């Protein structure tokens, strides 16, 4: 397997690991790993190092929703132009092109359900080329980005150290 792929897989699981730790895991030189990471960052393969926060365990009030959006593709631009207009809103956390009944899957965040409803009704739905929307409020997250968020899930796998 390509060294870049190995480094990416490791960093995807734990972006806090140092180049030295990754080098030990892969049996490589620290300098080589630093060069690989630098190149991946410059090429925008590594776009951002991300922290997953379980907001339910904090005092911050956060409401998230998934908004399914039907759109009319624009001539010469397809879905890209409308997706770009949508992802520029600060309330929007993610936009995905889908197959199926809806064209775009939009993840939005607000302080309340009312905030999200106002965003959808006053900013998203009125956009040119948007035909319809369906909003689904996220009531509870169990797993996010591959990480289980609930307590009580004990990992019984054996730890192996290199």
What pLDDT, on a 0 to 100 scale, did the predictor assign at position 81?
Answer: 94
State CA 157 to chain mean position distance: 27
Average the pLDDT over each of 15-19, 31-35, 121-125, 156-160 and give the range with the smallest value.
Answer: 156-160
SS3 at position 156: coil
pLDDT at 149 over 90: no
What pLDDT, on a 0 to 100 scale, did the predictor assign at position 114?
Answer: 97
Q: Where are the alpha helices (DSSP H) in 75-141?
A: 80-87, 113-119
**Average pLDDT of 145-151?**
83
pLDDT band of 1, cuts 50, 70, 90 = low
d(CA 102, CA 80): 15
Query: Whole-model pTM?
Result: 0.78
Check: CB of residue 106 under 8 Å from CB of residue 67.
yes
What pLDDT, on a 0 to 100 scale, did the predictor assign at position 153?
Answer: 53
Task: Go through the domains of the chain in sequence order and give each one's CATH number.
Answer: 3-43 (1.10.10), 61-140 (3.30.70.920)
């Amino acid at each position: 397997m390509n060294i870049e792929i190995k480094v990416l897989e490791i960093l995807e699981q734990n972006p806090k690991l140092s180049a030295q730790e990754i080098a030990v895991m892969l049996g490589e030189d620290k300098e080589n790993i630093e060069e690989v990471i630098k190149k991946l960052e410059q090429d925008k393969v590594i776009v951002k190092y991300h922290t997953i926060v379980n907001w339910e365990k904090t005092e911050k009030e956060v409401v998230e929703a998934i908004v399914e959006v039907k759109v009319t593709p624009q001539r010469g631009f397809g879905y890209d132009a409308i997706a770009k207009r949508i992802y520029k809103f600060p309330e929007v956390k993610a936009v995905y092109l889908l197959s199926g009944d809806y064209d775009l899957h939009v993840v939005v965040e607000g302080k309340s359900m009312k905030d999200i409803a106002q965003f959808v009704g006053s900013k998203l739905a009125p956009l040119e080329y948007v035909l319809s929307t369906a909003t689904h409020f996220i009531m509870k997250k169990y797993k996010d980005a591959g990480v289980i968020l609930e307590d009580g899930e004990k990992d019984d796998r054996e730890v192996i150290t290199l």
